[in-house]
Amino acid sequence: MELRHLRYFVAVAETGGFSAASRALHVSQSAISEQIADLEDEVEVPLLHRKNRTTTLTAYGEVFLERSRDILRMSEQAIQLTRSAYRGETGRLTIGFFVGGVRHWFPQWIRQFRRRYPSVTVSLVEMPPTAQHAALLSGTIDVAFTRPVPAALRSDLRTEQLYSEDLVAVLPRQHSMAAMKNLKMRELEGQRFVMNERANSPAVFDKVLSLCADAGFSPQIVTQASVSSGVIALVEAGEGIGVLPRGSEQLGSHDVVFTPLADEGATVDLVMAWPARRDDAVLHQFVELVRSAVRSKAFPARTAVKRASRQDAP
């Protein structure tokens, strides 16, 4: 039995005859008659009364008609759902993010995507960058807003830079340099450093060490925190000073200040990352939405503030 048999049978039942069904389906009357005869042979039940050029359903045909309509309706739904999935209009999307790396544009993108694709189930998962990389590889998440991935993972993960973000010194409000508009890294030599654990955010950790090396010193790291909010809390408690991306300001409190670093290259990137071997229409639609937003004038390609110029001692 094929769907064609059911379509012909339903057409005859609904139009009241082979001739009308032939015109409706643009199929020869003899072909329809032959296919329905084959259908009755397969079902082994008479489905139609044929008498004096009139065609009516038998009692068994009434039962078969109802189920035939159900099958045809379900097959059409399957086709439409498959086409929607192919276009990225249905499915699931799990997005990884971390609070210090997103701004007002992140919820805007999520809301826009949900409005555009209401049949896609979107889930958001907060996790530090290194955990995001592992989750992308395992398939736990589909796309991430994260820090640059290590070189060893670049063949497995595709990335696109979204913006470059200033690094800032995080100081207790009572610190002797808290009132300065910007700082050079070399001015932080001799300070006690509170760092973000490299295991969670190697991009930021390595950048801070690189800037310190360029300034001619190694930082005195007294303690580390797993997330940026932990670094801020430790600074607030007087454990030392921190260096974090500027976005961490949204995690701050009244008792700390965030002072831009004036050193060239005192930035860290935020990237969008996803598995290189994924061929998923929903993922493609989301990536294209973000690309379009980044290309628009409404989204800054760089959120770093203009570095204030200051005469520095030689």
Residue 34 sits in the same domain as residue 104: no
pTM: 0.71
Q: Where residue 250 sits, what CATH number does that domain have?
A: 3.40.190.10
Residue 36 sits in the same domain as residue 183: no
Please indicate, yes or no, if residue 314 is contained in any of the structural domains.
Answer: no
Q: Where residue 22 sits, what CATH number does that domain have?
A: 1.10.10.10
CA dist 7 and 211 (Å) reads: 73
pLDDT value, residue 172 = 95
pLDDT value, residue 297 = 60
Residue 281 sits in the same domain as residue 198: no
The residues facing 165 across adjacent strands are 268
Residue 256 sits in the same domain as residue 275: no
The Cβ of residue 302 has, within 10 Å, a number of other Cβ atoms equal to: 13
pLDDT value, residue 313 = 31
- DSSP annotation of 299 reads S
Mean per-residue pLDDT, 155-176: 94
Please indicate, yes or no, if residue 194 is contained in any of the structural domains.
Answer: yes
Q: Among 72-81, 90-99, 302-311, which is the least confidently predicted range? A: 302-311
pLDDT value, residue 300 = 52
Please indicate, yes or no, if residue 302 is contained in any of the structural domains.
Answer: no
Residue 188 sits in the same domain as residue 234: yes
pLDDT value, residue 190 = 96
Residue 188 sits in the same domain as residue 216: yes
Residue 102 sits in the same domain as residue 133: yes
Enumerate residues 6+ apart whose C-beta is below 8 A from 139. Answer: 275
pLDDT value, residue 308 = 37
pLDDT value, residue 309 = 36
Q: What is the mean pLDDT of the chain?
A: 87
Residue 81 sits in the same domain as residue 197: no
Per the structure, the count of domains in the chain is 3
H or E segment and range at residue 22:
helix 18-25
Please indicate, yes or no, if residue 248 is contained in any of the structural domains.
Answer: yes
CA dist 159 and 275 (Å) reads: 9
Mean per-residue pLDDT, 82-88: 71
Mean per-residue pLDDT, 278-300: 84
pLDDT value, residue 65 = 85
pLDDT value, residue 189 = 97
Q: Are strands 143-146 and 91-97 parallel, antiparallel or unpaired?
A: parallel
Please give the C-alpha separations between residue 252 and each of 100, 171, 270, in angstroms, as whole numbers: 11, 11, 20
Token pair of 115 as six digits = 């409005």
pLDDT of 306 > 70? The answer is: no
pLDDT of 302 > 60? The answer is: no
pLDDT value, residue 222 = 97
pLDDT of 144 > 70? The answer is: yes
Residue 171 sits in the same domain as residue 158: no
DSSP string, 196-215: E-TTT-HHHHHHHHHHHHHT
Please indicate, yes or no, if residue 289 is contained in any of the structural domains.
Answer: yes
User: How confident is the model over 167-207, as pLDDT tens digits?
Assistant: 999 999 999 999 999 999 999 999 999 999 999 989 999 99
pLDDT value, residue 29 = 84
User: How confident is the model over 4-21, as pLDDT tens digits?
Assistant: 888 887 888 788 788 887
Residue 242 sits in the same domain as residue 283: no
User: How confident is the model over 216-266, as pLDDT tens digits?
Assistant: 999 999 999 998 999 999 999 999 999 999 988 887 778 999 999 999 999
Residue 48 sits in the same domain as residue 104: no
Range of the domain at 245: 165-267
Residue 80 sits in the same domain as residue 215: no
pLDDT value, residue 184 = 97
Domain's final residue, options 68, 86, 104? 86
Please indicate, yes or no, if residue 151 is contained in any of the structural domains.
Answer: yes
